[in-house]
Amino acid sequence: MPKYKYKIETSQGKVTSGVIKADTLTEASDWARSQGGQVLNISEAGGAADTIESLRNIRVEFGPGLKDIMYFTKQLAVMVRAGISLRDAIDGIASQVENQKFQSALQQIRRDVESGTPFSSALAKYPRMFGTLYINMVRASELSGTFADMMDRIAEYLAEQHETRSMIRGAMIYPAVLFTLSVTAVTFLLTWVLPKFMTVFKGKEASLPTPTKGLIWLSNFLRDDWYIPVAGIAILITGFCIFRRTPVGRTTIDRAKLKVPILSKMFRAIYISRGLQTMGELVNAGVPMLETLDITAEISGNVHYEHMWSEVRDSVQEGNKIVAPLQQGDLMPPSVVQMIGAGEESGRLGDVLRDVSEYYAKELKDTIKAVTSMLEPLMIIFMGFVIGFIAMSIILPIFKMSSIASGK
């Protein structure tokens, strides 16, 4: 039996809507009128119009980003320091949040806090949203009674992480644009310009230079069998994405990041800065050392640095010092290991880690600038070489024909 959607406005001005089953549209209309009030709309459910309307109402809502969490943390610190209760502060921030998923999470956190649940435990229900470092620092602040100050420190940490990500993305934009332009220009030349130009040499293909023959073959291949390279690229990208999710793939790719020329220095600076900054914040927050090392390993961002911090954790659990396993590997510079050892001996490990992480944060910025300045000319040289080769392959036959003509 067909279904019909209806919308009725009652005498009190209230609009009601729903779905009914009826044999015909007339029967559905009669039923709607019998309910009293004014029938605003009645139509068959599941039709094309209904499908289009449903598609219009689809809204993909992603979770909050790092910037959203950072702003929430800053606002919460200010409001709590101003004397506003934690429940009211969360409620006030939630009412201003635009991301529906984040707003729903904050409202649930507010209800949990209102029922007597510690704030850190309420946050722990959303580990993908806030992360273990955030939750543990909040838990440490609840024990020490420094909640507002800790939220400020978390906000500063998140701000630095956001700035680092923005710098890395910004550094990659220009080379990516150049590479895209290179591929687009070459494809245009091979599939549109070259075929028109090669009509001049029609019937003389056998006498053309080897580079020109190769270029013609590539042009014909891209025009006639374009789906083959497209499918090949799609297969390569899919295979790479699957491979990187496997343990062997992640290990291989993360090792390549530490060995690839030019970029390896930037990647090492990222992992060292992130690890030391995280560890320093947790130590200064009063989080136990074993838990600190677990979290540092988790957020390291590279499987090899993750293994390094896990080995440090196991060594500390056995009663050894932090620097012992760091000295055996090559992932941490000797000068950094020496400073960590000095901080551990003097009891100022947290301060030393903060100072070293600040130094590496500055070095990371300088490294990103240096890498960007090196990538730009390399991409320009690559683009010039490819287009120059195409131009040479087109000009060579003209020179050859001219020399033959002058010889005659």
Residue 59 has what pLDDT?
44
- Mean pLDDT, range 253-260, rounded to an integer: 90
Residue 51 has what pLDDT?
44
Cβ distance 94 to 106 under 8 Å? Answer: yes
- What separation in angstroms does the CA of 164 have from each of 85, 159, 267, 280, 370? 33, 9, 12, 17, 15
Stated pTM of the model = 0.67
- Mean pLDDT, range 260-286, rounded to an integer: 84
Topology (CATH) of 174-408: Receptor-associated Protein (1.20.81)
Give the confidence band of 63 by pLDDT, cuts at 50, 70, 90: low
Report whether pLDDT(343) > 90: no
| Torsion angles phi and psi, residue 3, rounded to 5 | -115, 145
Give the confidence band of 238 by pLDDT, cuts at 50, 70, 90: very high
pLDDT tens, residue by residue, 78-136: 888 888 888 899 888 888 888 888 888 899 999 998 888 899 899 988 888 888 888 88
- Mean pLDDT, range 10-20, rounded to an integer: 66
| C-alpha span between 106 and 69 (Å, rounded) | 11
Q: Which residue has the tokens 């921030």?
A: 93
Topology (CATH) of 66-160: Receptor-associated Protein (1.20.81)
Q: Output 259-263 pairs: Cβ under 8 A, ≥24 positions apart.
A: 262/371, 262/374, 262/375, 263/371
Structure-token pair, residue 268: 């090492």
Residue closest to 105 by CA, chosen among 126, 121, 128: 126
pLDDT tens, residue by residue, 291-310: 888 888 888 888 999 999 99
Q: Which residue has the higher pLDDT, 362 or 10?
A: 362
Residue closest to 20 by CA, chosen among 12, 34, 11: 34
Distance from chain centroid for Cα 133:
19
**pLDDT above 90 as % of the chain:** 7
List where CATH 1.20.81.30 sits in the chain: 66-160, 174-408
Report whether pLDDT(258) > 80: yes
Residue 304 has what pLDDT?
92
